[in-house]
């Protein structure tokens, strides 16, 4: 049963095992919640293999469930264990269910996947619903191309859970950018549960001076970040080609490869970087905010968290979005450019080196995001806090759900 005391418990579930986006978003929300409510504890359930590399505030902790990886054919495989994927999924579901029952949260926030990976949290949702826990689904601003999302949701069939189990749906963005469920025939009852919060700001007070591993410390530089790095190799290759063609580009570049870039590809990039005077690289920094804050501009793919940081630190940015396996980044970059928040450099027309050179030369004079007035743009954490306070302080008892 959820706690009846002032010491409220919040459980956040993130299905992803690869990449940084889901983990960083959940961590940011958790830190904001405990910073604003002194009598709250947050537990994050995640399959990320690098969750232990991050620092967590007091009263925030995590449980790491066995990781899986999505193969090119769309199937899943165990990340580390020599076990059949069905056994791994069964183990994950059991750990999730047992953790939720013991932790007994007042509030459960599910990130992006309403039923979890392959439906692994469906039983947990039913149990928590019966126990009176408020169930909240958190969606990023853009999910995917509407047709692709419609086909995916027809296969996964999450609408019954959205209709019967979830109490609220938070969209971490603005309708001016995207309706994440566009193309889905959503019942009015489900639509009524949706609240657009605005984007999630980063900690503006993050110190820059302690970034001892920054080779350009004290000098102007452009930050180049392909996120986790696994699917950002084309961006790094294009960027390096520009500096190879034009060594006199006006600003130095700091490339952060990301922890999931393939080692052999990273080594080839490092060989090229060694020949460039104005490019340096590091593999990973668990506090990217400080590198973002110290930069003069950003070159990125356009993942959700990087976009939020660009807005927070008000950096002129060039987004080079991926278009596979999802159109999420491309849609976000297109809409953001239309609002004047960033510039998009798509590879739809090819990756001619001169195009990147021209974009880099124009970056210092490019408008900052704050030059475009978009009301409520970075209100996400404030709005989540307001709603969470309301939910935790009211005498809430979720409608009892009869378990089969």
- Least confident span in 39-53, 101-115, 137-151: 39-53
* Domains of the chain in sequence order: 8-201+378-393 (3.40.50.2000), 221-371 (3.40.50.2000)
Residues facing 136 on adjacent strands: 109, 168
Across 54-58, 79-83, 110-114, least confident range: 79-83
The tokens describing 266, both together, are 């990273």
The predicted pLDDT at position 336 comes to 97
**Which phi and psi (to 5°) does residue 117 adopt?**
-70, 120
Average pLDDT, the chain: 90
pLDDT for 41 equals 97
Is residue 254 within 8 A of residue 280, CB to CB? The reply is: yes
Instruction: Read off the pLDDT of each residue in 43-49 and give the average, rounded to a whole number.
Output: 91
DSSP code for 226: -
Give the pLDDT confidence score for residue 230 in this predicted structure: 78
**Which pTM does this prediction carry?**
0.90
- Ramachandran angles phi, psi of 288, nearest 5°: -60, -25
Q: Which residues pair with 318 in a beta bridge?
A: 299, 343
Q: Say what the pLDDT of residue 395 is.
A: 60
Tokens of 353: 């080196």
Is residue 194 within 8 A of residue 184, CB to CB? The reply is: no
How far is C-alpha 161 from the geometric centre of its chain's CA atoms?
23
Q: For the segment 294-327, what is each residue's pLDDT rounded down to a tens digit?
A: 999 999 999 999 999 999 999 999 999 988 888 9
Q: What percent of the chain has pLDDT over 90?
A: 74
pLDDT for 170-227, tens place per residue? 999 999 999 999 989 999 999 999 999 999 998 775 445 445 567 888 889 999 999 8
Count CA atoms closer than 13 A to 59's CA, side-chain side. Answer: 17
Residue 398 has pLDDT above 90, yes or no: no
CA 299 – CA 235 distance, rounded (Å) = 9
């Amino acid at each position: 049963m959820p706690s009846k005391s002032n010491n409220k418990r919040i459980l956040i579930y993130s299905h992803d095992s690869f990449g940084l986006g889901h983990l960083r978003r959940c961590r940011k929300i958790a830190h904001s919640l405990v910073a604003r409510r002194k009598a709250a504890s947050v537990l994050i359930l995640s399959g990320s293999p690098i969750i232990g590399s991050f620092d967590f505030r007091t009263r925030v902790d995590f449980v790491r469930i066995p990781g899986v990886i999505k193969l090119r054919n769309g199937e899943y495989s165990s990340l580390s264990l020599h076990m059949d994927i069905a056994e791994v999924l069964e183990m994950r579901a059991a750990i999730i269910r047992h953790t939720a029952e013991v932790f007994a949260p007042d509030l459960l926030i599910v990130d992006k996947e309403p039923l979890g990976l392959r439906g692994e949290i469906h039983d947990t949702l039913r149990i928590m619903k019966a126990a009176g826990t408020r169930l909240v689904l958190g969606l990023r601003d853009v999910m995917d191309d509407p047709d692709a999302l419609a086909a995916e949701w027809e296969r996964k069939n999450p609408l019954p859970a959205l209709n019967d189990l979830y109490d609220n749906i938070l969209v971490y963005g603005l309708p001016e950018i995207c309706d994440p469920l566009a193309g889905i025939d959503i019942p009015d009852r489900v639509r009524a549960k949706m609240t657009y919060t605005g984007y999630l700001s980063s900690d503006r007070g993050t110190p820059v001076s302690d970034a001892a591993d920054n080779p350009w410390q004290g000098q102007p530089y452009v930050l180049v970040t392909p996120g986790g790095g696994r699917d950002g190799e084309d961006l790094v290759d294009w960027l390096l080609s520009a500096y190879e063609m034009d060594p006199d580009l006006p600003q130095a570049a700091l490339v952060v490869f990301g922890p999931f870039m393939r080692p052999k590809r990273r080594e080839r990039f490092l060989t090229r970087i060694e020949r460039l005077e104005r490019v340096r690289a590091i593999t990973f920094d668990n506090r990217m905010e400080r590198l973002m804050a110290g930069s003069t501009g950003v070159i990125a793919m356009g993942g959700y968290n990087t976009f939020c940081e660009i807005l927070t630190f008000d950096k002129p940015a060039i987004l080079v979005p991926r278009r596979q396996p999802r159109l999420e980044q491309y849609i976000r970059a297109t809409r953001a450019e239309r609002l004047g928040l960033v510039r998009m450099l798509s590879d739809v027309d090819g990756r001619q080196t001169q195009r990147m050179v021209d974009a880099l030369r124009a970056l210092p004079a490019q408008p900052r995001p704050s030059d475009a007035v978009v009301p409520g743009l970075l209100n996400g954490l404030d709005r989540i806090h307001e709603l969470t306070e309301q939910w935790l302080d009211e005498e809430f008892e979720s409608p009892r759900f009869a378990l089969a």
